[in-house]
């Protein structure tokens, strides 16, 4: 809307905006009829919310443009429509319109350049600094401080926007930061710099990081990252130090104060392609971005191929029919719960309940897969009519992808072949646990090491481990914390040589660290290895301990990691693991707080332990 308003102002045109929400179509019609004769511009926003009214809009415009109508539209009249992509939007309107696509700028340089437009001119007035958005005059503060903080805010806003391209390495959730967040933060800076002689840094950090931008951030790890950026940018050093560094790269710093042109020239000198180091990321993050871009391109090309495959007819049907037969032969047999219960007699332990719940879930999945494959086979053979969902499943199978109906049971990024192998391993873990428990009740037949990602609901398993200890110690489950002890064995990442069960908790395998690596020599997290996006962690002992007995004094040496699913969906357990972290050797001469900051950013804001 703002670019359109600027254009109308340049051409001395009056523009009237009507948001097409529920009940606003009559207002739109009235404003449009008036503008057709008076020559005003009309901007109808969010047309995708009133798709059914679009045909009436087209008829109204046509009625003014027909030869029979004596009252022609005013020559200055212009109609602007905005809409999100919608397949039901009338094609006839699109064909008669000049179409403009507005895409957000890409890269730190372009985002900062957009914000540093000509509207900042009055902010750099040497005599008095006027802020358009608040009407405040900065008479009592150091204007140099404001101009440098304005640059820092511009960098901060661009940084948050561009971090989304790193996917799970950037944010835990796709946050939609808006220009209104930037304008509000700008008002906060102008207000507090005008009101106080001594800059209230804590208040500015809190309002910008926790209230304004932080109000959109729901994940605890993301809020932690934002607070690190806020502490780095909005501080005394930013306004008083010359060429204050904004990242580990020497290219990015707060330039010396001067007129607006100085700042714009510096922004123009920035590289057009952003390096991961600008965000505090490891160079491996660039590899992730390139891989994601390549995957998106290949998926787009594959979508064209899929539409062609449908026409291949008989060859595709034969392939799918054969594939369904092979899958029916390869999927595991459901476990007989009643037989297991009879042999096991009576055992009401919480872990046994989790076992049976997981068996029921996987049995249901196996039944769904079997029924689905039989229907698909009949469909391609012509025995039944294929629905649109079944046709989509056929295309997925033909292209070695997992049908959506199967993926709904648990997230996975694997192809069809890998998914089936993974399913067999998941069922095998439950089979081994169930029948070993039946035959070895006295010998505690549960697995010595649990594959956490083999559970459909790993959070319920972890909760039960806490519950067992809470019952044993006769305390509330809320009084327990997790303590994590890594079995530092480079040669046995899956725990095959472990002979004993832990007294409390469980040994867990199958976790992977992303954005970091495990240092076996020192027993701690450290920087990522080149071109190693994920590294398998050793077996970890998840041990429930009473909160007051938890290890103290390790907070400053520990790095808290969130546990996520590989698909990017956060597990409901909201589990965070704490490990000792060791910064890079080149940072050891720095004060501890700065070491922690640089290491925190270089490892990325969330060292995800991923299970899949």
Residue 313 has pLDDT above 80, yes or no: no
CA distance 416 to 436: 30
E strands present in 315-467: 449-451
Q: Three-state DSSP class for 562?
A: strand
If pLDDT is split at 50, 70 and 90, which confidence band does 117 have? confident
Non-local (6+) Cβ contacts of 5 within 8 A are: 15
Q: Give the range among 69-78, 265-274, 393-402 with minimum mean pLDDT.
A: 69-78
- The angle that helices 143-162 and 108-115 make with each other, rounded to 10 degrees, is 140
Nearest partner of 328 among 381, 379, 375, 392, judged by Cα: 375
Structure token digits, residue 268? 């123009």
Residue, of 376 and 529, whose pLDDT is higher: 376
Q: What mean pLDDT do residues 109-131 have?
A: 66
Q: How far is CA 93 from CA 30, 75, 402, in A?
A: 20, 20, 39
Structure-derived torsion over alpha carbons of residues 529, 532, 538, 541, reported in degrees to the nearest 10 = 90
DSSP-derived letter for residue 141 is S
Q: Give the range among 18-22, 78-82, 394-398, 460-464 with minimum mean pLDDT.
A: 18-22
Task: Give the per-residue pLDDT at 574.
Answer: 44
- Residue 480 CA, chain-centre distance (Å), reads 30
Question: Average model confidence (pLDDT) for the chain?
Answer: 82
CA distance 449 to 352: 16
Task: Give the per-residue pLDDT at 441.
Answer: 45
Q: What mean pLDDT do residues 20-43 have?
A: 86
Residue 52 has pLDDT above 90, yes or no: no
Q: What mean pLDDT do residues 290-315 have?
A: 72
Q: How far is CA 324 from CA 99, 163, 364, 376, 570, in A?
A: 46, 42, 19, 8, 33
Task: Give the per-residue pLDDT at 568.
Answer: 44
If pLDDT is split at 50, 70 and 90, which confidence band does 125 have? low
Q: What mean pLDDT do residues 551-570 have?
A: 59
Task: Give the per-residue pLDDT at 427.
Answer: 95
Residue 581 has pLDDT above 90, yes or no: no
Task: Give the per-residue pLDDT at 120.
Answer: 64
Nearest partner of 544 among 484, 476, 475, 459, judged by Cα: 484
Residue 258 has pLDDT above 80, yes or no: yes
Sign of CA dihedral 336, 338, 344, 348: positive
Residue, of 499 and 1, whose pLDDT is higher: 499
Structure token digits, residue 259? 């007129």
Structure token digits, residue 345? 């007699």
Q: Give the range among 120-129, 243-252, 296-305 with minimum mean pLDDT.
A: 120-129
Residue 127 has pLDDT above 70, yes or no: no
Task: Give the per-residue pLDDT at 562.
Answer: 75
If pLDDT is split at 50, 70 and 90, which confidence band does 135 have? very low
Residue 595 has pLDDT above 70, yes or no: no
Structure-derived torsion over alpha carbons of residues 299, 304, 307, 311, reported in degrees to the nearest 10 = -130
- Tell me the HSE value of 470 on the side-chain side, using a 13 A CA sphere: 16
DSSP-derived letter for residue 555 is G
Q: Give the range among 115-124, 207-216, 344-353, 581-590 with minimum mean pLDDT.
A: 581-590
Structure token digits, residue 118? 């000509």
Q: What mean pLDDT do residues 66-90 have?
A: 81
Percent of the chain with pLDDT over 90: 36
Tens digits of residue pLDDT in 140-192: 446 888 899 999 999 999 999 999 998 878 888 889 898 889 989 999 998 99
Residue 600 has pLDDT above 80, yes or no: no
Task: Give the per-residue pLDDT at 578.
Answer: 58
Residue 354 has pLDDT above 70, yes or no: yes
Task: Give the per-residue pLDDT at 119.
Answer: 54
Residue 563 has pLDDT above 90, yes or no: no
Task: Give the per-residue pLDDT at 551.
Answer: 53
Task: Give the per-residue pLDDT at 68.
Answer: 62
Task: Give the per-residue pLDDT at 217.
Answer: 93
Residue 606 has pLDDT above 50, yes or no: no
Residue 282 has pLDDT above 80, yes or no: yes
Q: What mean pLDDT do residues 555-569 have?
A: 63
If pLDDT is split at 50, 70 and 90, which confidence band does 306 have? low
Nearest partner of 213 among 290, 144, 151, 153, judged by Cα: 153
Structure-derived torsion over alpha carbons of residues 221, 224, 228, 234, reported in degrees to the nearest 10 = 130
Task: Give the per-residue pLDDT at 416.
Answer: 94
Residue, of 419 and 284, whose pLDDT is higher: 419
Residue 430 has pLDDT above 60, yes or no: yes
Q: Are strands 41-45 and 540-546 parallel, antiparallel or unpaired?
A: unpaired
Residue 598 has pLDDT above 60, yes or no: no
Nearest partner of 89 among 127, 136, 50, judged by Cα: 50
Structure-derived torsion over alpha carbons of residues 163, 167, 169, 170, reported in degrees to the nearest 10 = 20
Task: Give the per-residue pLDDT at 403.
Answer: 95
Q: Give the range among 3-12, 183-192, 525-534, 562-571 with minimum mean pLDDT.
A: 562-571
Task: Give the per-residue pLDDT at 226.
Answer: 92
Task: Give the per-residue pLDDT at 552.
Answer: 54
Task: Give the per-residue pLDDT at 455.
Answer: 93
CA-angle at 442, arms to 439 and 446, nearest 5°: 65
3-state secondary structure 37-81: HHCCEEEEECHHHHHHHHHHHHHHHHHHHCCCCCCCCCCCCEEEE
Question: Which domains occur in the chain, in start order?
Answer: 2-96 (3.40.50.300), 108-281 (1.10.8.720), 313-443 (1.20.1270), 448-612 (3.10.490.20)
CA distance 495 to 423: 21
Residue 91 has pLDDT above 70, yes or no: yes
Q: What mean pLDDT do residues 390-402 have?
A: 91
Q: What mean pLDDT do residues 335-347 have?
A: 76
Task: Give the per-residue pLDDT at 211.
Answer: 95
Percent of the chain with pLDDT over 70: 81
Q: What mean pLDDT do residues 478-501 have?
A: 90
Task: Give the per-residue pLDDT at 592.
Answer: 33
Task: Give the per-residue pLDDT at 588.
Answer: 31
Listed ranges 297-301, 337-341, 344-348, 423-427; the one with the highest mean pLDDT: 423-427
Q: Give the range among 193-197, 278-282, 344-348, 524-528 with minimum mean pLDDT.
A: 344-348
If pLDDT is split at 50, 70 and 90, which confidence band does 365 have? very high
Edge-to-edge order in the sheet of strand 480-486: 449-451, 506-509, 540-546, 480-486
């Amino acid at each position: 809307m703002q670019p359109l308003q600027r254009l109308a102002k340049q051409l001395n045109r009056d523009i009237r905006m009507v948001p097409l929400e529920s009940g606003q179509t009559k207002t739109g019609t009235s404003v449009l009829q008036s503008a057709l004769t008076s020559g005003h511009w009309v901007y109808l926003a969010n047309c995708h919310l009133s798709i059914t009214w679009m045909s009436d809009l087209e008829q109204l415009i046509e009625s003014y443009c027909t030869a029979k109508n004596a009252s022609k539209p005013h020559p200055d009249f212009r109609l602007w429509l905005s809409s999100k992509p919608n397949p039901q939007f009338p094609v006839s309107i699109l064909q008669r319109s000049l179409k403009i696509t507005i895409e957000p700028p890409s890269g730190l340089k372009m985002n900062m350049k957009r914000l540093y437009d000509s509207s900042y001119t009055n902010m750099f007035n040497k005599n008095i600094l006027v802020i358009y958005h608040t009407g405040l005059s900065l008479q009592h503060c150091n204007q140099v401080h404001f101009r440098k903080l304005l640059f820092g805010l511009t960098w901060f806003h661009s940084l948050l926007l561009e971090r989304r391209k790193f996917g799970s390495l950037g944010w835990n959730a796709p946050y939609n930061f808006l220009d209104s967040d930037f304008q509000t933060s700008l008002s906060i800076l102008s207000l507090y710099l005008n009101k106080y002689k001594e800059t209230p840094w804590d208040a500015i950090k809190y309002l910008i990081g926790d209230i304004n931008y932080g109000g959109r951030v729901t994940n605890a790890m993301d809020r932690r990252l934002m607070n690190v950026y806020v502490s780095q940018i909005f501080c005394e050093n930013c306004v008083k130090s010359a060429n204050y560094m904004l990242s580990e790269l020497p290219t990015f710093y707060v330039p010396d104060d001067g007129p607006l042109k100085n700042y714009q020239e510096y922004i123009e000198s920035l590289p057009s392609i952003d390096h991961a180091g600008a965000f505090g990321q490891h160079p491996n993050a660039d590899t992730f971005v390139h891989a994601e871009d390549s995957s998106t391109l290949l998926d787009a090309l594959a979508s064209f191929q899929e539409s062609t495959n449908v026409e291949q007819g008989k060859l595709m049907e034969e392939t799918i029919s054969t594939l369904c037969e092979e899958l029916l032969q390869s999927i595991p047999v459901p476990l007989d719960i009643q037989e297991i219960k009879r042999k096991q007699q009576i055992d009401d332990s919480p872990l046994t309940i989790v076992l049976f719940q997981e068996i029921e879930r996987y049995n249901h999945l196996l039944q769904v897969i079997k029924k689905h494959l039989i229907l698909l086979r009949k469909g391609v053979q012509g025995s039944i009519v294929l629905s649109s969902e079944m046709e989509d499943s056929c295309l997925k199978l033909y292209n070695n992808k997992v049908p959506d109906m199967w993926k709904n049971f648990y997230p996975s990024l694997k192809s069809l072949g890998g998914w089936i192998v993974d399913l067999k391993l998941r069922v095998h873990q439950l089979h081994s646990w169930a029948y070993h428990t039946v035959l070895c009740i006295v010998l505690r037949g549960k697995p010595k090491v649990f594959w956490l990602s083999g559970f459909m609901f790993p959070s319920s398993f972890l909760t039960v481990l806490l519950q067992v200890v809470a019952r044993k110690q006769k305390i509330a489950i809320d009084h327990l914390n997790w303590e994590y002890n890594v079995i530092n064995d480079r040669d046995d990442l899956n725990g095959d040589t472990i002979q004993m069960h832990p007294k409390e908790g469980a040994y867990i395998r199958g976790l992977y660290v992303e954005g970091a690596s495990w240092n076996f020599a020192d027993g701690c997290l450290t920087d990522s290895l080149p071109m190693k996006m994920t590294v398998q962690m050793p077996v970890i002992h998840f041990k429930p301990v009473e909160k007051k007995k938890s290890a103290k004094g390790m907070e400053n040496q520990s790095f808290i990691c969130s546990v996520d699913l590989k698909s990017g969906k956060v597990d409901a357990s909201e589990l965070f693991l704490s490990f000792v972290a060791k910064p890079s050797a080149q940072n050891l001469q720095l004060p501890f707080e700065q070491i922690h900051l640089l290491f925190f950013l270089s490892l990325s804001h969330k060292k995800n332990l991923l299970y899949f």
